[in-house]
Amino acid sequence: MRIGLVLALSALVGLALGAAVLRIAGAPPPVDLPAAVGDALVRSGVDNPVTAVLLNFRAYDTLLEVAVLVIAGVAALSPERATPLAAPALRSANILLHALVAWFVPLMLVLAAYLVWAGGHRPGGAFQAGAVLAAAGVLMRLAGVPLHVLGNDLRFRAGLVLGLATLLLVALLGASSGGGFLAYPPALAGTLILVVEVLLALSIALVLLVLFVSAPPSDGDAASTGDEGV
């Protein structure tokens, strides 16, 4: 009976959502955004419209997004009972993983570098590259490869905020030179965006990695495998 109610409710909501989507899709767009972006693309410093929107036209949104990520990372670091970051307490015993890490991690590093660089003119960018970097870190962590960068508190924390700090600095520089908050000087826009993207990718990777790493080791695992944890 409860299943029937749930099904009826979801069918109702689904129908309403579908009708709304059709209605929105049918209406003519109030502003022709693709054309507007296309017109301004020449001045943005990059060739990829998505990157131009994310890091130039609407860089303010990206700034706030990254701020949210950094706050999440700091919050993940703060519980006192979190494991020391460098300790490989959650080592997996999977032999296949150990063998694959040596192959995958270099590939993932190259892929991340490519994604940052590609962001300027084709799909790619800081978030994707950061996610790939973080995934490489997760693999290394699971395989028990010591991550020394996580051990050094000061350097690690600096890396965590590096992207946000750079973006803020660029924004303030734009403001102080009279262009406005987050307005890049047109001649330097391409270079600035590339620098910001590289540093953002590093910071995003560290934040995502710290979210994974700083979780306290599961009590159940420690009890069942006799692993040194907690």
Partner 1 sequence: MIDLWLDMLLVFALLATAAAALCSRDLFRAVVLFIAFGLLMALGWVRLEAPDVALAEAAIGAGLTGVLLLDAAGHFRGRRRNSGEEGKGE
Name the CA dihedral angle for 132, 134, 136, 138, rounded to a multiple of 10 degrees.
-140
Residues that bind partner 1 (CB under 8 A): 48, 50, 115, 123-125, 127-128, 131-132, 134-135, 138, 208, 211-212, 215, 218-221, 223
As measured in angstroms, the least distance from the Cβ of 177 to partner 1 is 30
**CB nearer partner 1, residue 142 or residue 173:** 142
Residue 89 vs 208, nearer CB to partner 1: 208
**Distance in Å, CB of 224 to partner 1, minimum:** 8
Shortest distance (Å) from residue 191 CB to partner 1: 22
The closest alpha carbon to 196, from 56, 69, 68, 67, belongs to 56
> Please, which residue, 152 or 218, has the CB nearer to partner 1?
218
CB nearer partner 1, residue 162 or residue 211? 211
Residue at token pair 């700083």: 214
Q: Which CB, 72 or 183, lies closer to partner 1?
A: 72
The CB-of-132 to partner 1 minimum distance in angstroms stands at 6
192's tokens:
């600035």
Q: What single letter denotes the amino acid at residue 119?
A: G
Element (H, E) at 68: helix 59-77
CB of 181 to partner 1, least distance (A): 25
Q: How far apart are CA 200 and CA 203, in angstroms?
A: 5
CA separation for the pair 159, 108 (Å, rounded): 19
Q: Can you tell me the distance from the alpha carbon of 210 to that of 138, in angstroms, rounded to the nearest whole number?
A: 9
